[in-house]
Structure 1
Amino acid sequence: MLAESGGYTPLPGEQTLYQSPPRTTLSLQTSHRHPPSESYSQQCKSGVVYLTNRRMIYLPVTPTPAFQSFAVPILNVTDSRVTAPWFGANKWEAIIQPVQGGGIPPQHAELDLVMEFKEGGAFDFASIFERLKERLKQAVDIARESGGDGVEDGTRGVGGVNMNNVHLEDLPAYEESRQHTRVPDPLPSPPMERPTTSGASADGPVVAAPQPISPQRSSAQTSPQQESFQPPSEPPPGYEEVQRNSIVDELERQLRDDPWRDEARR
């Protein structure tokens, strides 16, 4: 997979979507659940990571006989995330599933992968990776629902998907077309009055409930008799007796309170 002029040899239809700065580290090892006798570990202090539409590739700046390159298919990477420590560069962590015959012992079903971007680029790499993985996973799911045969060759991946035909560009933003007139939204219909039944039986006529009349409306809807009302010209019954009693009470009160009456008695 290594090219003579440097870099990697691309597969048919493979495109490079991201390339990191050269000071990117890689740590590949088994989880802590395995005993030390079955552990697997690879370390590299400086290298370049490539992200393509098919896989993730890491090439060390100074290859060694024990470690010359590393590659993993995109869909074999799970639980990826970016961590930002208080001190040091940002890191990208994930769990990978090695492929058969890839140089990793077969007893290791999962490996912990950590890449440290010392010259930046961790968030850009993570953003492109997540978007790419989502597109590839969606294409594989659609192929499986339509009866994919699962053939894997130079251009087909999991589920018989032609990875070269997967659309990787962002969908265009929605813009309102001015060629057609937009139909206005319909106005909400007024609530319907719930009818109430009157009478002893349910088979009687249906009568709508009366609407409450506001004070302004009731004052405006007065009858002609109320508008032509005139006060009576004669006093009400017992009016003269009440007036006479009131005058007598007032005279008695004045006589009680008159000081000259006491002087005349003396």
Structure 2
Amino acid sequence: MSINWVTLRDNGDIVPLDNERIRLRINKVSLDLTVPKALRQGREPFSRKSDNGTAYLTTRRVIYIPSQPTPELKSFQAWILDCQDSYVHSPLIGAWYWAGTVRPSPGGGVPPDIPRLNLKLTFREGGHYDFYQRFEELKERMEHVRQLQQETGQFINIPDEPLPTYEPRQPGTSESNNLDPNTLASRSRSTSSASQNIRPDEPPPAYEEAQAQQLSMRLEGHIRDEEERS
């Protein structure tokens, strides 16, 4: 993660990196960046806070742009794979928030003796469910790609399309019991609100295996294409 390292256009929009796409943009979000309590003793106080701003989720980063930038906080970014232990929560009083720990990048504006920070994004007008679900999808794909790269020793571009999301069968409809991964991937996604559709707690048996098989087939095909071109 880095502070004040996001490139912005004149109109305030972020400039994506090469091969990066914006997947989500949510306004009315606050940010709290703090040192975990276990690491505070013997260190200089460090924190960053913004009461209102815009949160972005791209195919590579979590980004936050405050509506009123300060010299200390003009922008914030964290690589998706540098975010750990993320979750969403609703306090007894207040809005839903997404939180986790992030690992600072060298030279990113955080004191070098701080190995991790607590990140909290509070969604004043909703959007926490979309953010959480899409973040988890992106991180799962990136971790899978990283594992394949370690096993094959080859660079693999991260697929841009999201993993398919399980959708329950609607009343009055019928479908085959033997759905292949391509059929699963073609289902429409509905992620605008956690309460929009009532879904079962778990997907059907073998659904996760079908997701992994579909992604592995795409990545293996990509590896073969790279080998043929070389």
Structure 2 length-normalised TM? 0.66
How many residues were matched structurally?
Answer: 163
Secondary structure, aligned partner of 2:37: coil
2:23 paired with 1:17:
yes
What stretches of structure 2 of length at least 5 have no aligned partner? 1-6, 167-174, 180-230
Asked which structure has the greater RCO (Cα within 8 Å, sep 6+), the reply is: 2
Partner Cα distance (2:115, 2:107) in 1: 13
Whole-Å Cα distance in 1 between the matches of residues 165 and 100 of structure 2? Answer: 30
CA distance in 1, matches of 2:43, 2:19: 41
| Equivalent of residue 30 in structure 1, options 30, 35, 42 | 35
The corresponding residue for 1:168 is 161
**Separation in 2, partners of 1:108, 1:37:** 8
Q: Is the 8 A contact 1:24 1:46 kept in 2?
A: yes
- Could you say if the C-alpha distance between residues 29 and 90 of structure 1 is closer, same or farther in structure 2, counting changes exceeding 3 Å? same
Equivalences for 1:1-266 in 2 at 5 Å? 1-21=7-27, 23-33=28-38, 34-35=40-41, 37-148=43-154, 160-163=155-158, 166-171=159-164
Matched letter for residue 47 of structure 1: G
Could you list the runs of 5+ residues in structure 1 that have no partner in the other structure? 149-159, 178-266
The CA deviation string for residues 227-256 of structure 1, in whole angstroms up to 9 with x for no partner, is xxxxxxxxxxxxxxxxxxxxxxxxxxxxxx
* Bigger radius of gyration among the two: 1
Task: State the AA in 2 paired with 1:70.
Answer: F
Name the amino acid aligned to 1:162.
N
Superposed CA offset, 1:176-212 (max 9, x none): 59xxxxxxxxxxxxxxxxxxxxxxxxxxxxxxxxxxx
Using the alignment, how far apart are the partners of 2:99 and 2:151 within structure 1? Answer: 31
Cα offset, 1:103, TM superposition? 1.1
1:130-187, CA deviations, whole angstroms, 9 ceiling, x for partnerless residues?
A: 1110011000001101124xxxxxxxxxxx4434xx243334989559xxxxxxxxxx
- Structure 1 contact 135–168 (Cα < 8 Å) conserved: no
1:187 corresponds to which residue? Answer: none
Question: Cα RMSD (Å) of the superposition?
Answer: 2.0
Identical columns (%) = 34
Q: Secondary structure at the match of 1:38?
A: coil
With normalisation by structure 1, the TM-score equals: 0.58
